[in-house]
Amino acid sequence: MYFPTGTDLKKRRELLKLSQKQVVARLAARGLHIRQPYLSKIEGEKAEPAYRLVRELVGVLDEYENAKTEETLAGSYHTRPVVAQAEENVAEAIRKIRKNGFSQLPVYRKGKSVGRLTDAMLLSAERRYGKTGARQKHVSQIMGPPYPALNIGTPKSEAELMVENIGAVLVEKEGKIVGIITREDLLNE
């Protein structure tokens, strides 16, 4: 039986255009938790991983290779998502939500995704601070964690599972956020 070297694994990962971060995340989804620096050591042949880890790494790479034939996120997302800015007041974010008929918005600061704002978070803030008080707050004071970002080459089926649970995912290409997919998008297909 062929046992791939760290160099073999790295070459294959790079051919599939996967980041180490993506591989580590898929390993975690399989119940195997390692950190990206350890994967880097394996690929640099500075660590000797257990057989099970190598088997799982090969399984993750096989999964992505097989997924290449599946439909990906390319063309399935909004290219110009409406966003709230972290330092704008909540009243402005509510205006954007109402104007566009949304129930959620990604929150940005200096062009980077830093959080999310949902209708549930807005209602909770209104209960806590009163309607007027909540609307005077900055979005950053009531926002939740950011939506996860998936590479544009990710299989659509994987994104659908995440959107179902989280409400939306950001789509990235070459490290930059290029769009968003929401539950509403999936329902409207």
Report pLDDT digits (tens) over 73-91. 777 787 888 999 999 999 9
- pLDDT at residue 94, as a whole number: 95
- CATH number, residue 175: 3.10.580.10
Number of other CB atoms surrounding residue 22 within 10 Å:
19
Q: Which of 92, 99, 94, 87 is nearest to 118 (CA)?
A: 94
Same structural domain, 89 and 146: yes
Same structural domain, 113 and 182: yes
Q: Report the alpha-carbon distance of residue 11 to residue 177 in Å, rounded.
A: 26
Same structural domain, 58 and 88: no
Q: Report the alpha-carbon distance of residue 173 to residue 162 in Å, rounded.
A: 18
Does residue 74 sit within a domain?
Answer: no
Does residue 1 sit within a domain?
Answer: no
pLDDT interval class at 9 (50, 70, 90): very high
Average pLDDT, the chain: 88
Same structural domain, 92 and 176: yes
Report pLDDT digits (tens) over 115-139. 999 999 999 999 999 999 999 999 9
DSSP β-ladder status, 149-151 and 112-118: unpaired
Q: Give me the domain span that covers residue 45.
A: 6-67
